[in-house]
Amino acid sequence: MKNPWTEIPAEDYEGHMKLPEVHQLEPLREIFKKALEKYGPRRIAILGCATGNGIEAVEFSKLEKLYALDINPGYLEILRKRHAANLSKIETMECDLNTDGPDLSGIHLIFAALIFEYVDVKIVTEKIARWLAPGGILVAVLQLPCEKIPEISPSPYKSIGKLATLMKLVAPEEMEGLAAENGLGFQGKRTRKLDSGKEFLELSFRKPA
Ligand SMILES: C[S@@+](CC[C@H](N)C(=O)[O-])C[C@H]1O[C@@H](n2cnc3c(N)ncnc32)[C@H](O)[C@@H]1O
């Protein structure tokens, strides 16, 4: 069976994320930008990078490599077009994080925003722990449950509905437990309320130096 994400055109994905009642791209961009400012990473991996939201904040002159991983090749093609000027430092990797094992290592910052909801959290956390450099940081963003709003906001973009069978919210305790099991030390967390009323939880972990 095809992963539903491969059947959602980029226009539908971005259109949905930009709806005033969803409006998630900007807060995610901000979280990524803050992580760049705080940690100054030279090797970055973005898991579930989609069309590259946030990459415009990267200072490529200070960067060694940015790995952008996603299951949808169409999203990665758009990312490459939008960031054509910096392609010598960007490597896009089409992969299914559940099953494929890109051979990454020595990553200073892994940004994993709204991806754990769609993958096997245990498998992906194990990979992250392997890929991080000693002292490297994982910033994860989870969507928190909200009584009044469905997990996937109603959308005029019908293809978004395909995610209903795949998406499952991840309990922060599960994420924290798996990170600890894989030797990642808890650094901090922050809840961010969106205009829609939904909430994101930003969690950060560090691999021991
Ligand atoms: C909600 S979007 C992520 C938003 C993005 N991180 C941001 O900050 O704007 C989820 C992304 O994860 C990708 N994805 C979902 N399942 C995946 C998998 N098994 N392996 C790799 N990428 C996956 C989707 O194609 C999609 O681009």
Closest ligand 1 atom number to CA of residue 24: 9
Q: Are 191 and 199 in contact (CB under 8 A)?
A: yes
Measured in Å, residue 115 CA sits from the centre of ligand 1 at 5
Q: What is the CA radius of gyration of the chain?
A: 16
Q: What is the mean pLDDT of residues 127-142?
A: 98
- As a residue count, the chain comes to 209
Measured in Å, residue 68 CA sits from the centre of ligand 1 at 10
User: Phi and psi at residue 140, in whole multiples of 5°?
Assistant: -115, 140
Pocket test for ligand 1, best of 118, 128, 157, 168 (most atoms within 8 A of CB): 118
State the DSSP H helix or E strand holding residue 172, giving kind and residue range, or none if neither.
helix 172-181
Query: Hey, what are 67's tokens?
Result: 């790995």
pLDDT (tens digit, 9 = 90+) per residue, 7-37?
A: 999 999 999 999 988 999 999 999 999 999 9
CA angle 25, 29, 35 (to 5 degrees): 150
Q: What is the mean pLDDT of residues 85-98?
A: 98
Q: Are 149 and 163 in contact (CB under 8 A)?
A: no
State the DSSP H helix or E strand holding residue 6, giving kind and residue range, or none if neither.
none
Pocket test for ligand 1, best of 17, 70, 202 (most atoms within 8 A of CB): 70
Closest ligand 1 atom number to CA of residue 72: 25
Give 207 or 148, the one with higher predicted confidence: 207
What's the pLDDT at 148? 80
Q: Which region among 5-14, 71-80, 93-102, 178-187 has the lowest average model confidence (pLDDT)?
A: 93-102
At 83 the three-state DSSP class reads coil
* Residue whose C-alpha is closest to residue 115's, from 46, 204, 42, 206: 46
Measured in Å, residue 58 CA sits from the centre of ligand 1 at 19
Pocket test for ligand 1, best of 28, 29, 34, 71 (most atoms within 8 A of CB): 71
Share of the chain above pLDDT 90, in %: 91
In the beta sheet, which residues pair with residue 91?
A: 67
What's the pLDDT at 142? 98
Give 177 or 148, the one with higher predicted confidence: 177
pLDDT (tens digit, 9 = 90+) per residue, 146-172?
A: 888 888 888 999 999 999 999 999 999
Residues 138-150: b if buried by 16+ CB within 10 A, e if exposed:
bbbbbbeebeebe
What's the pLDDT at 78? 98
Is 0.85 surpassed by the pTM of this model?
Answer: yes
